[in-house]
Amino acid sequence: MGQEKVRARRETVGRHALIRGDAVNVMRRMETSSVDIVVTSPPYNIGVAYRTYKDSLAEQDYIGWMRGVCTQIARVLKPDGSFFLNIAGSSSQPWLPFELITRLRDLFVLQNHIVWIKSVSIDEKTYGHFKPVNSSRFVNHNHEHVFHLTHEGDIRVQRLAAGVPFTDKTNINRRRHAVDRRCRGNTWFIPYETVRHRREKFLHPGTFPVALPAACMTLHGYHEESVILDPFMGTGTSLVAAQELGVKGIGIDIDTRYVAVARRRLRSVLDGGIDEEQESQADEGP
């Protein structure tokens, strides 16, 4: 359910594996306990216009399909691994993320619930960008969920590595910190960069900034031999983050075009170029 079954095709770009295929079928062939970190943003089932995926299943069908995906993620994730699931609801389906996460309680422990803030207004000034809702009943959606799932809920995270500097520097000594870093908490303001045309998002309807998967990987902690998996790779943002952090990435996507874009982005970064992505779902900003 969800993705059509296709014959998997694998290629290597640098240290990274790009696999065109169905996420569940590909993961079934992966070795048990072989992945350190999973970072992914699956289809949200809110009617997004993907090229090769129907994003409007009946709610229980979608949850059942995602449970099958997450069952395979639980199998390939190492005992000390972390699974970061980025998902959002909509005005018409506000319960969907919570219905899904509840159905995963026998597979994972919800260790942290992070709110990814894409836009925030402070006093009279707005920071970041958002996709406006044309409605007289609903306010705009300026955040999404990042559910940090682990096998037992006992993973020691790198709070300071993923943190931010103190605003009041006297807190460094008063809090007995060895470095000028503090935990950033469970609200992460990571804005999109401004775009004005879908071409700047590689014609993909649902992207996220490189900084988001990078923050997830940093929070868990990584080393040179870490393996990162994104079973819904899209245009390869998680793999670009993995490359920037110096770890190995495995990306899976069913859409040939998106795999080609991911390949191009990775090769550009590997060749010393700058990832030219200016990604946003935003139509309004500050």
Q: Within 10 Å of residue 193's Cβ, how many Cβ atoms? A: 14
The Cα–Cα gap between 119 and 84 comes to 21
**Model's pTM, two decimal places?**
0.89
* H or E stretch covering 80: strand 77-87
pLDDT digits (tens, 9 = 90+) for 126-183: 999 877 888 899 998 899 999 999 999 999 999 999 999 999 999 999 988 899 999 9
Would residue 286 count as lying in a domain? no
Question: What confidence score (pLDDT) does residue 153 get?
Answer: 98
Lowest mean pLDDT among 3-12, 29-38, 104-113, 145-154: 3-12
Are the C-beta atoms of residues 57 and 69 closer than 8 Å to each other? no
Asked whether the predicted pLDDT for residue 114 surpasses 90, the reply is yes
Question: What confidence score (pLDDT) does residue 171 get?
Answer: 92
Are the C-beta atoms of residues 125 and 286 closer than 8 Å to each other? yes
Would residue 48 count as lying in a domain? yes
Would residue 200 count as lying in a domain? yes
Bridge partner list, 90? none
Question: What confidence score (pLDDT) does residue 50 get?
Answer: 57
Would residue 277 count as lying in a domain? no
> Hey, what long-range contacts does 242-245 have (CB within 8 A, 24 or more apart)?
242/16, 242/213, 242/217, 243/14, 243/15, 243/16, 243/269, 243/270, 244/210, 244/214, 244/269, 245/214, 245/217, 245/218
Closest to 9 (Cα-Cα) out of 180, 263, 205: 263
Question: What confidence score (pLDDT) does residue 133 get?
Answer: 82
Give mean pLDDT, residues 195-202: 50
The Cα–Cα gap between 61 and 129 comes to 32
pLDDT digits (tens, 9 = 90+) for 260-274: 999 999 999 999 866
- CATH number, domain of 208, equals 3.40.50.150
Question: What confidence score (pLDDT) does residue 180 get?
Answer: 95
The Cα–Cα gap between 41 and 52 comes to 16
Would residue 285 count as lying in a domain? no
Question: What confidence score (pLDDT) does residue 280 get?
Answer: 35
DSSP conformation letters of 13-51:
ETTEEEEES-HHHHHHTSPTT-EEEEEE----SS----S
pLDDT digits (tens, 9 = 90+) for 54-95: 666 788 999 999 999 999 999 999 999 999 999 998 888 889
The Cα–Cα gap between 164 and 159 comes to 9
- Would strands 119-122 and 125-128 be described as parallel, antiparallel, or unpaired? antiparallel
Asked whether the predicted pLDDT for residue 284 surpasses 60, the reply is no
pLDDT digits (tens, 9 = 90+) for 33-45: 999 999 999 987 7
Would residue 284 count as lying in a domain? no
Can you list the alpha helix ranges (DSSP code H) found in 79-178?
96-103, 170-174
Question: What confidence score (pLDDT) does residue 51 get?
Answer: 58
Would residue 2 count as lying in a domain? no
Question: What confidence score (pLDDT) does residue 286 get?
Answer: 36
Asked whether the predicted pLDDT for residue 53 surpasses 80, the reply is no
Question: What confidence score (pLDDT) does residue 2 get?
Answer: 45
Averaged pLDDT of the chain: 87
What number of residues does the chain have? 286
Asked whether the predicted pLDDT for residue 192 surpasses 60, the reply is yes
Would residue 47 count as lying in a domain? yes
pLDDT digits (tens, 9 = 90+) for 211-261: 999 999 999 999 999 999 999 999 999 999 999 999 999 999 999 999 999
Q: Tell me the C-alpha to C-alpha distance, in Å, between residue 218 and each of 21, 46, 74, 103, 213.
A: 28, 30, 20, 27, 9
Paired tokens of 250: 């495995």
Asked whether the predicted pLDDT for residue 4 surpasses 70, the reply is no
Match 């799932």 to its residue by tokens.
Answer: 149
Cβ-proximal residues to 239 (8 Å cutoff; 6+ apart), any chain: 16, 18, 228, 230, 233, 249, 251, 262, 265, 266
Bridge partner list, 127? 120
Please count the structural domains in the chain: 1
Helix (H, G, I), strand (E, B) or coil at 223: coil
The residue segments making up the domain with residue 212 are 9-270
